[in-house]
């Protein structure tokens, strides 16, 4: 069983004032932090989906060997990036599941990734839990990728699909924080 990583980092960051992938946070860029989190968690390979300012992200960010995929439809919302990332992973026959991270959640830790990915299979649907609330990271087993891609719209990502299916929630409140960075004051 192989688990990959998928970082969604394509957005333009309207509320923030620019692409969050390029936001400096504690000595690095948010996109670098997300890729490093997956690497430290031991995922087999990581795909980073870029869109807004993709060329600048590629030029500035050290993604530690992660593969980048460009989403030309990034302005339509998170769902198009999720579809682009899943499509990029579909050709990897050895990948059974992927751990999805959003670029603007720097409090997600390698420990949380390891915890939600433990025992992941092609049939897995897992989310981190924070005080009774579902959050990130999210594990999507390969058996669900087509269904997720078919139902993902706008900025909802896999939300509707996850609501319609049995999902395992793994408590991560003791090892992570899924607070997102929406405006400069949050950073």
Number of neighbours of residue 179 by Cβ within 10 angstroms: 14
The CB density around residue 45, as the number of other CB atoms within 10 Å, is 19
| Per-residue model confidence as pLDDT tens digits over 124-176 | 999 999 998 999 999 999 999 999 999 999 888 999 999 999 999 999 999 99
Contact (Cβ atoms closer than 8 angstroms) between residue 166 and residue 88: no
Characterize the bridge pairing of strands 3-8 and 46-50. parallel
Average pLDDT over residues 35-49: 96
Q: Does residue 69 have a pLDDT over 70? A: yes
pLDDT for 1 equals 67
Assign 73 a pLDDT band (cuts: 50, 70, 90): very high
**Mean pLDDT across the stretch 71-99?**
95
Structural domain total, the chain: 1
CA 49 – CA 39 distance, rounded (Å): 16
pLDDT at position 17 is 84
Instruction: Please report the pLDDT score of residue 14 as a whole number.
Output: 84
3-state secondary structure of 136: strand
Name the pLDDT band for 93 (thresholds 50, 70, 90).
Answer: confident
Residue ranges making up the domain that contains 94:
3-186
Domain of 141, CATH number, reads 3.90.550.10
pTM for the complete prediction?
0.96
Average pLDDT for 12-31: 92
């Amino acid at each position: 069983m192989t688990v990959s990583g998928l970082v969604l980092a394509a957005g333009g960051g309207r509320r923030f004032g620019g692409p969050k992938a390029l936001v400096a946070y504690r000595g690095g860029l948010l996109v670098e932090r997300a890729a490093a989190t997956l690497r430290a968690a031991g995922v087999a390979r990581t795909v980073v989906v870029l869109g807004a300012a993709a060329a600048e992200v590629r030029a500035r960010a050290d993604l530690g060997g992660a593969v980048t995929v460009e989403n030309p439809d990034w302005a339509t919302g998170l769902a198009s990036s999720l579809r682009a990332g899943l499509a990029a992973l579909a050709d990897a026959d050895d990948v059974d599941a992927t751990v999805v991270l959003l670029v603007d959640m720097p409090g997600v830790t390698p420990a949380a990734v390891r915890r939600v990915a433990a025992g992941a299979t092609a049939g897995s649907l897992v989310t981190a839990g924070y005080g009774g609330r579902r959050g990130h990271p999210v594990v999507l087993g390969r058996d669900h990728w087509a269904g997720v891609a078919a139902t993902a719209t706008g900025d909802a990502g896999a939300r509707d699909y996850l609501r319609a299916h049995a999902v395992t929630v793994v408590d991560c409140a003791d090892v992570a924080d899924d607070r997102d960075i929406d405006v400069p004051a949050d950073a």
